Structure 1
């Protein structure tokens, strides 16, 4: 879809997508890195919300509300609900978690609409092996809610608690669908058409052979 090329163009322009040597949270050394934190202007986050909104509507997945994991998922989930209302006239609610449980006032570790027994889409920026997303799954599971799907900007498609198109929850052994704006495969296809950037392809292919989902 045209969103893929548009998103990669946008990410390179904002230097959110870079090539080099990067140590990931997983401990792996990667030849590329995506930092959604650099997409931090009003125009940037509006555009990001629209990418997610288009992807959600195109998926035709049934859902009640959106959930954004702290911290990067918070602006994403807010921007996406705005985009869904402005471009699709769909008025959905959202929630996000605190990193630490609040010990005063209303207490709790969730902000926004009650997620109890709701049908929820999780929005996050990047998924690698799937380890980080399990915290959000646990929160949703504790509220007896259902995960309709997980939407991300970039799926690095790496080995972990998942296979190519799903992520498996460790505790309940259920598999949940992952939908991404782009994957590492989309990025390589993009580089093939760019004479200035295609020099990075061998490093990406080598990394994928070592850590990628076969």
Structure 2
């Protein structure tokens, strides 16, 4: 699919689509505000739960946003991979939407545990080959991306790019020599781009969320702006 890579390059951004996506997430209850503990142990003023894209209409519209972002990005890839578990329905939905738009591509996913009967193994679907696009919801530390890359490389294919719904644009954490988690100066997305060498396509980012809140002053949504800004100042990356 002509959707070139090589060196990492900036994604073509569609600000209107990003704002429409944030609104869709708010209206769907996928994007919530309050106080939520992240995997890194931070208290976040917002939470993105892709598991709440829980009916056909929501999943279909989500796939449309992914497909539009991918087509605008200029990223090329030969097939789609959905990592277990959330990536499986996301990858499948994106494959269906791209096919509807005239770009029919192979799709595969993995199991968490190897199957010891039937076809066996951990991979299901089309054989992994060529340049593979990984489809997931968000990236917290890049751990899931590394696991997917290992599976793809073991199959003889090339992990080429990652598509996510939301880039939180915040510092990743890693375990230090003392066994304690510590903040680092890059985000999970930046790590995947600059260390692992994959391109990343995100439908929207924390900047888009802040812009959405800024555009709703005096409303219940607008009341969350200051807390999200404070969180960004503390944990955000450039």
Matched, 1:18 2:41: no
In structure 2, the partner of 1:121 is 133
Deviates more, 1:146-155 or 1:125-134: 125-134
| Partner Cα distance (2:136, 2:49) in 1 | 12
Q: How does 1:1-214 map to 2 (within 5 A)?
A: 1=14, 2-86=16-100, 88-116=101-129, 118-160=130-172, 162-163=186-187, 166-168=190-192, 173-195=195-217, 196=219, 197-214=221-238
| Partner Cα distance (1:122, 1:166) in 2 | 16
The aligned length equals 210
Distance 1:210 1:131, change over 3 A: farther
| TM-score with structure 1 setting the length | 0.90
| Partner Cα distance (1:167, 1:62) in 2 | 20
Unaligned stretches of 5+ residues in structure 1: none
- Partner secondary structure for residue 144 of structure 2: coil
What is the Cα-based RMSD across aligned positions, in Å?
Answer: 2.0
In structure 1, the partner of 2:8 is none
Distance 1:24 1:165, change over 3 A: closer
Distance 1:154 1:187, change over 3 A: same
> Shift in Å at residue 131 of structure 1?
3.0
User: CA contact under 8 A between 2:166 and 2:205: conserved in structure 1?
Assistant: yes
User: CA contact under 8 A between 2:110 and 2:122: conserved in structure 1?
Assistant: yes
| Partner Cα distance (2:39, 2:84) in 1 | 16
User: CA contact under 8 A between 1:4 and 1:186: conserved in structure 2?
Assistant: yes
> Shift in Å at residue 165 of structure 1?
5.5
| Partner Cα distance (1:20, 1:205) in 2 | 14
